[in-house]
Homo-oligomer: A and B are copies of this chain.
Amino acid sequence: MSDLILNAVGRRVPLEVNGKPQTIFQGVGAYRPTGPKAAPRIPSNADYGTDKRLRSLREALEKCGLRDGMTIGIHHHFRDGDLTVVPLFDTIAEMGFKDITFAPSALFPTHEPLIRHLESGVIHHIEGSMNGPIGRFCTHGRMKGTGILRSHGGRWQAAQDGELKIDIGLIPAPSADSMGNANGVNGPSACGPLGFALTDATFADRVIVLTDHLVPFPNVPWEIPGMLVDYVVEVEKIGIPEKIVSGTTRITKSPTRLLIAEYIAQFIEEAGYLGRSFQAGAGGISLAFVQYMAQRMRAAGVKAPFARGGSTKYLVDLLNEGLIGYILDGQSFDLDGVKSLRDNPKHISTSPFTSYNYHSKGNIAQHVGTAVLGATEVDLQFRANVVSHSDGYLLHGIGGWQNTLDADLTILAFPLFRGRIPIIVEEVTTVCAPGEMIDVVITERGIAVNPLRQDLLDRLKGSSLPIVTIEELRRKALQLCGAPDAPVRDMETPVAIVKWVDGTVLDTVFKVPERE
């Protein structure tokens, strides 16, 4: 690991990670890529017949030329219901390979067994997202290499720009034909969009489709085109679609959170954003604010041109009601979302390329009116954290969070404290967003508007909403909770870095020593 130097957001970041040089964060929109896109090898039809099936994942990995030190990518559309990642690494371990860089688009609690492969050195490090137990393992400095955290759009950007070279892309697909044309809307394991897998299909040298539902050619729609696929392997079961529904995709019943959701809806209307497009996540507050906003839309007689998913029953209902023109969906958070994507032509699957890639000629995120997101910490400069907690532990992935900050109006919404830990802090533990990206912070005890958004402050003049400064929010939190213990971190030992959407290094996650 190289020396740490200060970047444009005041954080100490390494110039080299896992032996590769890094570009440090230079400010929002400041860094301009100069090179060409990554250029995968040119294949030839002469090497591909019409039937690409092989008998086992192991055979496919062999034919892909798997060897020590390679990088393997996979999508996370099955979320906590994935049945492929752990068997993949069990197979690689059996085959005797090690030092694999694993680049999933996200990980979930079900992937905890990967720790044995991290401990044994089968996996060298993880690029993409880490959470829960694996994040804790990484925070303790126990991963062989340094973790690299990227947003969903950043994963495409990194593969596109040649920063992340995926040797083998594995694509679990709920429906596929023998050519490898694949989608996520049909078959017993239907999970909705497969857009995250398009990164692997497009940029990996070798691509394996794993399916439990083989259909005759042509498999329509081919969200993953078979023209990008090397091998197809049939397995018994790739995922449990019911488990894509995590505990967070229900409307909150907490009075505090419902109050926050009402504030959000009122803020959107008073700020003039009612009837504009919006992004709603799967968190309880997000789901609730959409309901309140929908009531206001009905009352005002306006509809939104589109909503960005993750899709849920709640969004699908609004689409069917005609209150939104389209759902532009990145992933399904429940089975109503899956069904709607399959059957409703106004429910459109998007990929990280169309929605989130910053090294592109624009993307959908730029066109979103309002984005409502969570955070683990926000500081007095409106810088926000979404990956680590105030105790220093890396416990969450970035997801699409950084990418959606490009909305016209970005709102972070959360209770002022969680378990007596304030969310508003002096300085965030890890910077995942520069302060200028955050327009408003909404809590149950006050709403702080970023002073950079004087236009919003002007519009909200005379509002009944509890508009305060971020410093006031901080004071209130301190009064109620006191300051938490400072995290015990080894500030010379990075365990992971956080990339900004342009591939530059925004911050460093430092080691938290294990207690004796």
Contacts and interface: CB of A to CB of B under 8 A. Distances in A.
Nearest to A345: B345
A357 interface: yes
B36 A362 contact: no
A37 B32 contact: no
A407 to B, nearest CB: 11
Contacts of A354: 222, 225, 227
A364 interface: yes
A160 interface: yes
Given A36-B39, A220-B326, A227 B361 contact: yes
Contacts of A363: 45, 227
A33 interface: yes
A348 B219 CA distance: 11
Interface in A13-62: 29-50, 52
A30 B366 CA distance: 47
A353 interface: yes
A228 B179 CA distance: 27
A85 B292 CA distance: 51
Contacts of A306: 218
A89 interface: no
Interface string A358-376: 1111111011000000000
Contact of A227 (B34, B42, B357): B357
Q: Which range contains the number of A residues in contact with the other chain? A: 35 or more
A227 B362 CA distance: 5
Contacts of A50: 362, 366-367
A42 B161 contact: yes
Interface in A310-347: 326, 328, 345-346
Contacts of A220: 326, 346, 348
B227 A353 contact: yes
A477 interface: no
A431 interface: no
A305 B216 contact: yes
Interface string A435-468: 0000000000000000000000000000000000
A32 B46 contact: yes
A169 B481 CA distance: 60
29 contacts: A29-B45, A33-B43, A33-B44, A34-B42, A36-B39, A37-B39, A37-B42, A42-B161, A43-B359, A44-B502, A45-B362, A45-B363, A46-B358, A47-B361, A48-B362, A48-B366, A49-B362, A49-B366, A50-B366, A180-B361, A218-B364, A218-B367, A220-B326, A220-B346, A221-B348, A225-B353, A225-B354, A227-B353, A227-B357
Q: Closest 7 CB pairs between A and B?
A: A36-B39, A29-B46, A33-B42, A39-B39, A48-B362, A227-B360, A37-B39
